[in-house]
Amino acid sequence: MTEKTNTQPVVTIESLDQEGRGIAHHEGKVIFIEGALPGERVTYSSYRKKPNFEMAQVGDILKPSFMRVEPKCIHFGVCGGCSMQHLEPRAQVSAKQRILEDNLERIGKVKPDNILPPIYGLPWGYRQRARLSVRHVLKKGKTLVGFHEKRSSYVADMSLCEILPPKISKLIPLLSQLIDGLSIRERLPQIEVVCGDNVDVLVLRIMEPLTEKDEAALRAFADAYDIQFWLQTKGPETVHPFHPPVAPPLTYTLPEFGVEMPFAPTEFTQVNHRLNRVMVHRALRLLDPQSNERIADFFCGLGNFTLPIARSGAQVLGIEGSPALVKRGVQGAEHNGLSANTKFMAMNLFEMDEKALADLGTFDKWLVDPPRDGAVELVKAITPETAPKRIVYVSCNPATLARDAEILVHVKGYTLKAAGVMNMFPQTSHVESIAVFVKP
């Protein structure tokens, strides 16, 4: 339904897409409208036009949704970091659940027997990993520290970030002042934020050596605000601690399983530690590992699921593409006293085939936690001889989960027993989900 007011068309928003944009139709085109919610009547202005669709920004909201809320962050609409702050948090989760179900049905042609209750987390202050851009802007007369502006390579002029831990959020203007005073302010393009349970690390990407005055300023800042500075001079392998010279390591814990995970700033960990604990709990409940079973954890990383599974007494093989993460997994198993029933190996799972899978031996169950590309080669490699009786699949991309679900259900003979969303990234459109497949 559309009408016109002056020169701007008025449309009714039908649903949300995977990026949190409102979807409407006008004159035979699909219009994707940032900042609009389902049921609203809005005007819009297009910033990209194609023959079949347009990308637009919401204009006037003539009929607001009851789900609309006032964004908490003062930088919303400028900063490109969050896109759904105008939608009530529980409604965000409902929208993500619909996106998951739509992908499963439309792409995978499957429907779960059961919808799992969604997993919620803290709506604010949850993000314990982030990459902040740094740029000295002459026109503003200062150094900006923050995320990029929406649809732009410019760094947003930020004084806080509501999804970062409050301690780190408060440091943003102070970091701006600190870097402004460094001799290499033009040669420091990035700060990696990495928070553990008890340690906060800031990794500075520096492209020129620090002066003695620079080093003194960094040491004073780290001491004053109880953070660790690490430096990165080239690639990720060059990251090293700067100050304090002796400091506690980064760790996160999974108390339910008696697991403590040491990690380095450059190693992948979930950005939301609180929700990660709930996610691991749910995954293990669905997997139901038993002490007499052999279980594979594919795309295992540093062992976020591997070690909790091993705590059950099952024999667990964690398989990961990164040799560095495999090494960290072995260290984690030793650290937690789980080496006896835990093994790790490096393997390119994107090149899996039937023979390579058969060479690993048979497993009772799988846990699969791939990156956004999914696990298509892995699931295609399943044969009647290597098929586990249960697969728990953790996904950060509902489209590739749905694609892989189609293979598992319609080709490999599994039943999609259950699926649901986990709100790992509140205020954003990112959809994290979990699904369980069983052999009838």
Domains 93-122+272-438 and 129-195+200-243 share a fold: no
Kindly list the distances between the CA atom of residue 389 and the CA atoms of 386, 395, 409, in Å, as whole numbers in the listed order: 10, 19, 13
Domain 93-122+272-438 has CATH 3.40.50.150: yes
Residue with tokens 């209750």: 117
The DSSP letter of residue 274 is H
Amino acid identity of residue 281, one-letter, is H
Average pLDDT of the segment spanning 314-342:
97
Residues 233-247 have pLDDT tens digits of 999 999 999 999 888
Q: How sure is the predictor about 331, in pLDDT bands with cuts at 50, 70 and 90?
A: very high
pLDDT at 344 over 50: yes
Tell me the three state secondary structure of residue 25: strand
d(CA 328, CA 330): 5
Binding residues for [4Fe-4S] cluster: 73, 79, 82, 161
pLDDT at 64 over 80: yes
pLDDT of residue 3: 52
Residues 80-132 have pLDDT tens digits of 989 999 999 999 999 999 999 999 999 999 999 999 999 998 999 999 999 99
Residues 186-222 have pLDDT tens digits of 999 999 999 999 999 999 999 999 999 999 999 999 9
Q: Which residues contact 246 (CB under 8 A, 6 or more apart)?
A: none
Kindly list the distances between the CA atom of residue 273 and the CA atoms of 129, 270, 409, in Å, as whole numbers in the listed order: 10, 6, 32
Active site residue 396: yes
User: Catalytic pick from 191, 319, 396, 402?
Assistant: 396
**Global pTM?**
0.94
CATH topology of domain 129-195+200-243: OB fold (Dihydrolipoamide Acetyltransferase, E2P) (2.40.50)
Q: Which of 131-135, 138-142, 417-421 has the lowest mean pLDDT?
A: 138-142
pLDDT at 4 over 70: no
- What is the enclosing helix (H) or strand (E) of 42? strand 41-49
Structure tokens at 73: 């962050």
Q: Which residues contact 259 (CB under 8 A, 6 or more apart)?
A: 253, 307, 308, 311, 332, 336
Average pLDDT of the segment spanning 325-339:
97
244 HSE (CA, 13 A, CB side): 11
Q: Domain ranges for the chain, please list them.
A: 2-68, 93-122+272-438, 129-195+200-243
Kindly list the distances between the CA atom of residue 201 and the CA atoms of 94, 179, 255, 336, in Å, as whole numbers in the listed order: 34, 16, 22, 23
% of residues, the chain, pLDDT over 70:
98
- φ, ψ at 192 (rounded to 5°): -95, 125
Dihedral of CA atoms 190, 192, 193, 198 in degrees, nearest 10, equals: -140
Binding residues for S-adenosyl-L-methionine: 270, 299, 304, 320, 348, 369
pLDDT of residue 318: 98
pLDDT of residue 8: 82
d(CA 206, CA 119): 39
Q: How sure is the predictor about 6, in pLDDT bands with cuts at 50, 70 and 90?
A: low
pLDDT of residue 1: 46
CATH superfamily of 2-68: Nucleic acid-binding proteins (2.40.50.140)
Mean pLDDT of the chain: 96
pLDDT at 402 over 70: yes
- What is the enclosing helix (H) or strand (E) of 89? helix 89-106
